[in-house]
Chain A
Amino acid sequence: MSDLESFRSEARSWLEANCPPSLRGTSGRPAQGEEVWGGRRQTYRNPEAKLWLERMAAKGWTAPTWPKAYGGGGLSRDEAKVLDSEMRRIGAAAPLLSFGLWMLGPVLLEYGNEQQKREHLPKIVRGEIRWCQGYSEPGAGSDLAGLRTRCEDRGDHYLINGQKIWTSYADQADWIFCLVRTDTSKKHEGISFILFDMATPGVEARPIRLISGSSPFCETFFTDVKVPKENLVGRLNGGWEIAKRLLQYERQNISAGGFGSGFGGGLELEDIAKKYVGEVDGRIADGDLRARVAEHRMQARAFALTVRRLADEAKSANGPSPAVSILKYAAARLNQERCELLVEAMGYQGLGWDGDGFSAAEVQAMRDMLRSKGNSIEGGTSEINLNVVAKRVLGLMDHQ
């Protein structure tokens, strides 16, 4: 048996013995309302979810490829793929959803110093600290490098003043990774990347209510926030490079399935259409809607095949294809279409906001559709994504 095959059988039997029953048979994400984001405020509606996180974290398998020295699993990429496929085989839910795992950890491994890695990475692996991302500001959205949150050197500490916006779950988070301005005379070269505790005096997070009724984002205010100097990651004024690298991880994560995971009571779009529009000879009765559902489902298939192809190519001798930069744009478009089609298929029943006249799935469809409008804005607008493709991939030039 090859090493990989023996790892497979080892992973399989460990998962068999350790993955609690209520976390199996999922699409990879826990049931709605039972997601585990970790952190000081985490409570568990399902006690098995806590057990699952503890067991996986003890193996380092919440961060399978991170070095063991920092609490990770120490697996090779191939072993991590095997683990992933074994988890899929039994439909094991992800034990931990975490910006620390997806975004901060990878850049700390690359840019952090030894002390920072030892301090932060193990806590991310175990889900002890929940992180949020302090990037956008009221005046710095698509033009992120225009950010103005000031960070001044006060000898034995830094002093931070300013405002962030669209900070995901800032009201739930324990720590923030934050872009700050350390030099006002330069744009990109005046930005630094810094970490601090959200419990520090002077930090305030206010949830923003969205058109969908939910509040996943906050406005975050910093007033004379004192931050220890050792919390600076990388070089002073060298934060932009780290910021961009982190955005790559963020976009990869969004496009690898971060968007909508198919609500509507577990039914697929075509089943919903059949249910609400009716069937003729086993087909969606409305031919026009049927054609658009098919078109969408084919787009979704093309997207899934592309994610897989690019992952295969990334491991080949030629290295990653530049085509990965289309994924975030394509994923946003796809999810928005799916959400619109769901609402359309449900007809009047898809138009409810609340109350007894509508099922939970119907209300969710409307709210998801509204929420999906953000998919082409957050993490870089679709227009910015297309700029990146045009300039970096296609080599088209700037306007003079």
Chain B
Amino acid sequence: MAVLSEEQVMLQEAAKNWTREVAPVTAFRALRDSANREGFDRALWRQMCEMGWAGILIPESYGGSGLDYLSIGLVLEETGRTLTASPLLSTALVATAALLLAGNDRQKTEWLPKFATGEALGALAVDEGAHHAPQRVELTARQKGAAFVLNGSKSFVVDGATADLLIVAARSSAAPGDENGITLFLVPGTHPGLVRSPLHMADSRAAARLQFRDVEVMSDAVLGTVDKGFGVLDAILDRARAGLAAEMLGHAAQSFEVTLDYLKTRNQFGQLIGSFQALQHRAARMYTELELTRSCIEAALSACDRGSAEVPALCSLAKARAGDLVHLVSNEMVQMHGGIGMTDAHDAGLYLKRARVSEATYGSPAFHRDRYARLMGY
């Protein structure tokens, strides 16, 4: 754990207490088993907003508290522990970062105060195929006078069905695969011509497929600069990766601790199974990976806070390692629990499912290893 400021310690404590008392894993399980198709509980989201979490990154002048990425990472780590489903990542971190990084005064004034209170939700629409590939944007943006017409589709948009504001990566010129020719647009979620279909994901969290059929927006909907959107998109994605990695760290820490508790309570052959060296060494290895990964994630978040040139490399490092970590720990959680871990009644399955979805979101470990190598010149 990084050395925290007094304010950060208080925020972390508040998040710990709230998730434990109000939003434990049982709350997520109840949500999954309910008729709710939004993928999160609006009553819980309201409480999170009342505690100011939606506005952590938003400057005070726009109604937020002007804290930093390390701070929102602390909250995400706690909500990751209990699998709390909420728009915190998509709205308070990703969409907020998009506006902070590239929004003009008018755009910020319009959206940030509403994000800060949580009354508006945002989502980032990037990928179109089966894998994370931000350069391969194909959805077209054709200029028509002072307007742009968007046509195409987006797959796996996190919290896409409920978002009031979509940040859409579109191709305004050049061919798919080219970093040039990408433009970001701010598109209201209820815009005519936009069809949103919720996806029923294994982790029971919200994601949607979007269809754009002649969606016409005015040029003031452009976020940043026409054709030059990739740099901003990459910067937004890096913050998204660091934030998701923080959530995954909490997820991994919790699944590890639950498993460790089981090793200390389950008896076989007249022994606690945690006394078997085969399991002890695997537990010690998981702990090693957890500690190594924590350092990467904290370094990535604080690089975002400093606006360091190392943001891309450190965020790829954090996301790759977080992906490998939750993969390992979620598998071991099931295996070390034995048969009970295979049952739907046990939480291991919930962690396993969330692990697989978060591993792929914003780039798998393989994607980030390749990106890291590229960034380092090999």
Q: Does A355 contact B (CB under 8 A)?
A: no
In the bound complex, CA of A283 to CA of B377 (Å): 7
Contact of B288 among A290, A293, A329 (CB under 8 A): A329
CA of A326 to CA of B263 in the docked complex: distance in angstroms?
20
Contact of B3 among A312, A330, A385, A398 (CB under 8 A): A312
Specify which of B264, B272, B281, B283 is in contact with A383 (CB 8 Å cutoff).
Answer: B281
Q: Are the C-beta atoms of A270 and B377 separated by less than 8 Å?
A: yes
Return B334 CB to nearest CB of chain A, in Å.
19
Residue B298 CB within 8 A of the other chain: yes
* A396 part of interface (Cβ distance < 8 Å): yes
Q: Is the CB of A326 within 8 A of B287?
A: yes
**B228 in the interface, Cβ–Cβ < 8 Å?**
no
In the bound complex, do residue A313 and residue B1 qualify as a contact, i.e. CB atoms below 8 Å apart? yes
The SS class assigned to the A binding surface is helix
Within the complex, the shortest CB–CB distance from B282 to chain A, in Å, comes to: 9
Are A293 and B378 CB-contacts (below 8 A) given A399-B277, A400-B271?
A: yes
Once bound together, how far apart are the Cα atoms of A399 and B291, in whole Å? 26
- A294 in contact (CB, < 8 A): yes
Q: How many residues of B contact A (CB 8 A)?
A: 41
How many A-B contacts if CB must be within 8 Å?
A: 126
With a cutoff of 8 Å between Cβ atoms, the chain A residues found around residue B378 in the complex are 270, 273-274, 282-284, 290, 293-294
Closest-CB distance, B8 to chain A (whole angstroms): 13
| Complex alpha-carbon distance, A305 and B291, angstroms | 10
Known: A302-B296, A400-B275. A297 touches B372 (CB 8 A): yes
Query: A294-317 interface mask toward B, CB cutoff 8 Å, 1 = contact, 0 = none?
Result: 110111011101101100110010
Q: Is B320 an interface residue (CB 8 A)?
A: yes
**CB neighbours of A283 from chain B (8 A):** 373-374, 378
- The contact sample of 30 A-B pairs, CB cut-off 8 A, is A274-B378, A291-B373, A295-B369, A298-B320, A298-B321, A298-B372, A301-B296, A302-B295, A302-B321, A305-B299, A306-B294, A309-B295, A312-B2, A313-B1, A323-B291, A329-B288, A385-B284, A386-B285, A387-B280, A387-B281, A389-B284, A390-B281, A390-B283, A394-B283, A396-B275, A396-B279, A397-B275, A399-B271, A399-B277, A400-B270
16 more contacts with CB within 8 A, not counting A283-B378, A295-B369, are A273-B378, A291-B369, A291-B373, A298-B372, A302-B317, A305-B296, A309-B295, A330-B288, A383-B281, A385-B284, A387-B284, A390-B281, A394-B280, A396-B283, A399-B271, A399-B276
Chain A residues at the B interface, C-beta cutoff of 8 Å? 270, 273-274, 282-284, 290-291, 293-295, 297-299, 301-303, 305-306, 308-309, 312-313, 316, 321, 323, 326, 329-330, 383, 385-387, 389-391, 393-400
